[in-house]
């Protein structure tokens, strides 16, 4: 499993790694019991600090998605209902794809579409707090 982090995104690297591990579990690429790379090996592969990988692993352990076994490694501890979540995720991806394709056909740029999505997420989050 190869993860790809984007240091220029402005999104913390440990959060990017966590999101990619979650996604791999939700889509079935990583399954319950799978052994993750060691902290050192993954940090070297991604050319990032060992502390960054350790933080991501610790957070994922706290969420119950990873089980850290001293001296043995980090293992995926997939939650039940993962297949249902993966199906919902695939349906959501198809919906987003259709919306993006429609907006591109209407002449919106990728940056405009990204800003529209981000603005809607912020608006939805803000409306949820005031409700």
Are 29 and 37 contacting, i.e. CB atoms less than 8 angstroms apart? no
Q: Is residue 91 part of a domain?
A: yes
When mean pLDDT is compared over 21-35, 76-90, 104-118, the highest value belongs to 104-118
Looking at the fold, whether 19 and 62 belong to one and the same domain comes out as yes
> How does residue 25 score in pLDDT terms, banded at 50, 70 and 90?
confident
Instruction: Report d(CA 17, CA 5) in Å as an integer.
Output: 7
pLDDT, average across residues 12-23:
93
Instruction: Give pairs for 103-109: CB < 8 Å, separation 24+.
Output: none
b/e code 76-110 from CB counts within 10 Å (16+ = b): bbbeeebeebbeeeeeeeeeeeeebeebeeeeeee
* Domain hosting residue 51, numbered range: 7-76
Looking at the fold, whether 87 and 116 belong to one and the same domain comes out as yes
Coil/strand/helix, residue 80: coil
> How does residue 108 score in pLDDT terms, banded at 50, 70 and 90?
very high
| Structural domain total, the chain | 2
Coil/strand/helix, residue 30: coil
Q: Is residue 126 part of a domain?
A: yes
Q: Is residue 104 part of a domain?
A: yes
| pLDDT > 70 in the chain, percent | 88
């Amino acid at each position: 499993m190869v993860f790809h982090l984007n240091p220029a995104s402005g999104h913390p690297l440990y959060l990017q790694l966590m999101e990619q591990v979650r996604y791999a579990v939700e889509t079935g690429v990583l399954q319950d019991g799978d052994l993750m790379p060691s902290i050192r090996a993954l940090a070297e592969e991604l050319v990032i600090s060992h502390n960054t990988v350790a933080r991501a692993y610790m957070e994922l352990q706290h969420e119950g998605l990873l089980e850290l076994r001293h001296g043995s490694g980090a293992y995926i501890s997939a939650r039940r209902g993962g297949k249902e979540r993966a199906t919902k995720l695939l349906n959501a991806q198809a919906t987003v794809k259709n919306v993006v394709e429609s907006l591109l056909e209407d002449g919106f740029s990728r940056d405009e579409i990204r800003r529209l999505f981000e603005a809607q997420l912020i608006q939805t989050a803000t409306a949820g707090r005031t409700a």
